[in-house]
Amino acid sequence: MQNKLFERRSFELTSTCEYLVHVPDGIDDRTLLIITLHGYGSNPTDMLRLTMQAVGRQHIIAALQAPNQHYAAAPGVDAPSGYNWGIRQHWEQAVTLHHRILQGALSRLRADFGMGPERTVLMGFSQPVGLNYRFVGTHPGLVRGVIGICGGVPRDWDESKYGNVDASILHISREEDEFYAVEVARQFPDRLRRHASDVEFHLMPGGHRFPSKSSAVIQPWLNRVFR
C-alpha cells in the first residue's frame, strides 16, 4: 500500500573513490594487475597487506576502499573507521554502485599501467565476494581471473540474468566459518559452474578470517591460469 504521508525521491551526487596501489620494482609480461576488495568493517590498508602476502610483491595490487563508512568500534575520538559495500535493505543500489566503482577502477588502472583484461585478477574477501561474482556474470571479458575468499555465491546466481563467465574462478572457504556452514560451502563449486566453466574450490581449516596459508593455494592457481 502506498504511503499517503510522503513520497520517496532521490538524486545522484558525484563521489570520490579511493584506493591504495602497490607497484613492483619492475613490470614485465609476468606482472598481473590484481584488484582486491576488503570485507565488511575492514579497510584497504589491511587488504593490501593480506593480498600482498598471498600473491607476492611482483604484481600490481590495487586495494579499493568500500564506499560506505562507519565506526568499527564504539564512536569516540580514537574510534577506528571501517568501510562496507552496502546493507541488505539497499542491496540493489549497493550492487549497482559496486559495478560502477569496479568499472571506474579498471579504466583508471589500465590507463595507468597498460594492463589488459587477460592480465587482470579480481579478488575479494567476505562481503564483496558475491558482488564480484555478480560483476563478472554481468560484465564478461573484463578480467581473466576471480578469487573469492570466505564469501558466498549470490542467491540469484542460478537465474538467467547472468551470462557465461569467461574468467577462471578460485573459491576458498573455511571449515569453521561462522557465516557459511561447511555443508553450504561444499555446494559453491557446483553452483558457480552454473555460469563458469573453470572453477577451483578449496576448503581450508579455520574460521571466517583471511587464511594465513592461502598463498599455497593462490600462487599455483595464478601460475596455472596465467601461464
- The architecture (CATH level 2) of 19-225 comes to 3-Layer(aba) Sandwich (3.40)
CA 18, CA 28: separation in Å to the nearest integer?
Answer: 26
74-95 per-position pLDDT tens digit: 766 677 789 999 988 888 999 9
Domain boundaries, the chain: 19-225
CA 24, CA 163: separation in Å to the nearest integer?
Answer: 34
This prediction has a pTM of 0.93
Q: Is 108 strand, coil or helix?
A: helix
Question: Which cell is 36 given?
Answer: 582486491
Is residue 1 scored above 60 in pLDDT?
Answer: no
Is residue 226 scored above 80 in pLDDT?
Answer: yes
Q: Place 3 in a pLDDT band, splitting at 50, 70 and 90.
A: low
Kindly write down the DSSP assignment for every residue of 177-198, as one continuous string: -SSS-HHHHTTHHHHHTTTBS-
Alpha carbons within 13 A on the beta-carbon side of 73: 5
CA 192, CA 197: separation in Å to the nearest integer?
Answer: 8
Res 2: pLDDT: 59
30-60 per-position pLDDT tens digit: 999 999 999 999 999 999 999 999 999 999 9
Contacts of 169 (CB under 8 A, 6+ apart): 133, 145, 146, 147, 148, 192, 196, 198, 199, 200
97-118 per-position pLDDT tens digit: 999 999 999 999 999 999 999 9
145-156 per-position pLDDT tens digit: 999 999 999 999
133-192 per-position pLDDT tens digit: 999 999 999 999 999 999 999 999 999 999 999 999 999 999 999 999 999 999 999 999
